[in-house]
Amino acid sequence: MKTIRIILLTLLFTLIIYPQQKYGSELQLHLAAPVGSYAKYFNVGFGVTGGFYYHLEENLRLGLSLGYIKIGADAADIEEYYKTTVSAGDLNMTGFVGVIPLLITFKMVSPGRKYKVYGSIDGGLYTYWTKATGNYTNNGATSVIDKSEFRSEPGISFGVGSLRKMAETVWRDFNVKYHVVQNSVYLDADPEYESISTSKMMIVGVGLNWNFESGAEE
C-alpha cells in the first residue's frame, strides 16, 4: 500500500505543477517471455496494458500504466524439476501466474513529424496472483496442492520503442521492455528445497497512443 500511495502522490504532484501540459492515453497488447534461471518452467504469456501520460516537456513524458499479464506454468518441466531435486518426490500439477503491474512511466521521445523513437524507464508495484493445483507425493505420503496466493513486490523496467503516426492524433506504438521484479516464489511444494520462482520478464508490446488535445504531436 505504501508503494501505491507514493505512485498516486507523485502523479498528483505532477498535475499541480504541470496543469496545462498536453496529455494522452495508450493501450497495448503484450507477449511476455519469462527469462532467467527459471524461465523454462513457464510458457509465453499474454496481456494488456492501459494508461495515460503527460508531456512534462516537448520530448519527455510522465505517465501511469496498469495492466494484466497471464503466464502459464510448464507443468512437465516443473514436475521434472521436483523429481530431480527431491528424489523421493513426485509432483503432478497445473497452474499459472497472473501479473498486475501498476507503474509510473518515464519516456524520452525523439523529435519527428511521422516517426519517433524513445527510451523508457518504469517503476512501481507488481501484484502477483499465483495458482497451482495438483498433488505431491513424498516418502509414500500424498498431499493435495491447491494454492492461490496474492503478493505485491516492487520492480522496474527498461525499454525502447518506436511511434509511427497513423492519423492526426493517433500513433502506433511498438516496444520491447525488460522487467526486473523482486523475487516472487511460484511454488514451494517442499519447503526444504529450493522453490520455483519468477522475477524477470521480456515483454514485447504493440498498441496505439491517442492525444487528447489537437496539436499535441507535431
Mean pLDDT of 137-147: 78
Bridge partners of 121?
A: 106, 158
Among 21, 61, 78, which Cα is nearest to 161's? 61
Report the distance separating Cα 136 and Cα 181, nearest Å.
28
Query: Do residues 70 and 95 lie in contact, with contact meaning Cβ atoms separated by under 8 Å?
Result: no
Chain segment 9-21, per-residue pLDDT in tens: 555 555 544 554 5
Q: Give the single-character DSSP code of 59.
A: T
Report the distance separating Cα 161 and Cα 167, nearest Å.
19
Predicted local distance difference test score (pLDDT) of residue 161: 97
3-state secondary structure of 17: helix
The b/e string for 8-32 (b: 16+ C-beta within 10 A; e otherwise) is eeebeebeeeeeebbbbebbbebeb
**Which secondary-structure segment (H or E) carries 128?**
strand 115-138
Residues of the chain with pLDDT > 90, as a percent, come to 42
Report the distance separating Cα 137 and Cα 9, nearest Å.
49
Bridge partners of 205?
A: 30, 175
Q: What is the pLDDT confidence band of residue 218, given thresholds at 50, 70 and 90? A: very low
Chain centroid to CA 176: how far? 12
Indicate the CATH number of 2-14+25-211 among 3.40.50.300, 3.40.50.150, 2.40.160.20, 2.40.50.100.
2.40.160.20
Q: What is the pLDDT confidence band of residue 203, given thresholds at 50, 70 and 90? A: very high
Report the distance separating Cα 142 and Cα 147, nearest Å.
16
Query: Do residues 179 and 33 lie in contact, with contact meaning Cβ atoms separated by under 8 Å?
Result: no
Among 138, 185, 179, which Cα is nearest to 159's? 179
Predicted local distance difference test score (pLDDT) of residue 106: 93
Lowest-confidence segment of 33-42, 96-105, 125-134 by average pLDDT: 33-42
* Candidate ranges 60-64, 77-81, 185-189, 197-201; pick with highest mean pLDDT: 60-64
Q: What is the pLDDT confidence band of residue 5, given thresholds at 50, 70 and 90? A: low
Chain segment 80-100, per-residue pLDDT in tens: 777 777 656 677 888 898 999
Lowest-confidence segment of 33-37, 43-47, 100-104, 124-128 by average pLDDT: 33-37
Report the distance separating Cα 171 and Cα 5, nearest Å.
31
Mean pLDDT of 108-113: 92
The length of the chain is 218
Burial of 212 from C-beta contacts in 10 A (0-12 / 13-18 / 19+) = exposed
